[in-house]
Amino acid sequence: MTLEAALLISAAIFSVGLYGAISQQVVVMVMMGLELMINAVILAAAACWWFLAPGPTGQVLLMVVIAAMTLEMAMGFAVAVLLHRARQTDMTDMATDLSR
């Protein structure tokens, strides 16, 4: 159990999440990609805490990351509901107004 091993696992999870966030068309699946990326951040932050500076303040950063994940989920679901209500769709390709 080394810092490098934990960070490599974290990097792999982050990359998989990035793939999902870029490639998926369904809003909820995009959110799953983002969740995976935050999952990787949790692991990386926990590993850095344990292997580099195991003081109590490092754990507070983890609590902030978990809170950020909760907020992302809540807002993501709200946007998904809004999109479904307004456009009768759950696809990102149907909500590209700002890209024009």
Partner 1 sequence: MLVDIAFVALGVVAVLSGAAVFVVDSMARATYALAVSFVAVGVQVLFLQQSYVGVVVILMMVMEMAVMAVYMVMFMGMNPALMPMSMVHSNRTAVATAVLTFLLLAAGILVVDWPARRGSPPPEVTEALGEALMGPQMLVMAVISPVMVATIVAGVVLAAPRTRYDRFGDDLRQRPPDDPQPGGVGR
Contact 70, 35 (CB under 8 A): no
Q: What is the DSSP letter of 52?
A: T
Segment 25-84, which members bind partner 1 (CB under 8 A)? 25-26, 28-29, 31-33, 35-36, 39, 42-43, 46-47, 49-57, 59-60, 62-64, 66-67, 70-71, 73-75, 77-82, 84
> Hey, what amino acid is at 30?
V
Q: Give CA–CA dist 99/85, Å, rounded.
A: 21
Question: Whole-angstrom Cα distance, residue 93 to residue 100?
Answer: 12
Q: Whole-number minimum distance, CB 70 to partner 1, in Å?
A: 7
Tokens 């946007």 sit on residue = 79
Per CB under 8 A, does 87 bind partner 1? no
Residues that bind partner 1 (CB under 8 A): 1, 3-9, 11-20, 22-26, 28-29, 31-33, 35-36, 39, 42-43, 46-47, 49-57, 59-60, 62-64, 66-67, 70-71, 73-75, 77-82, 84-85, 90-91, 93
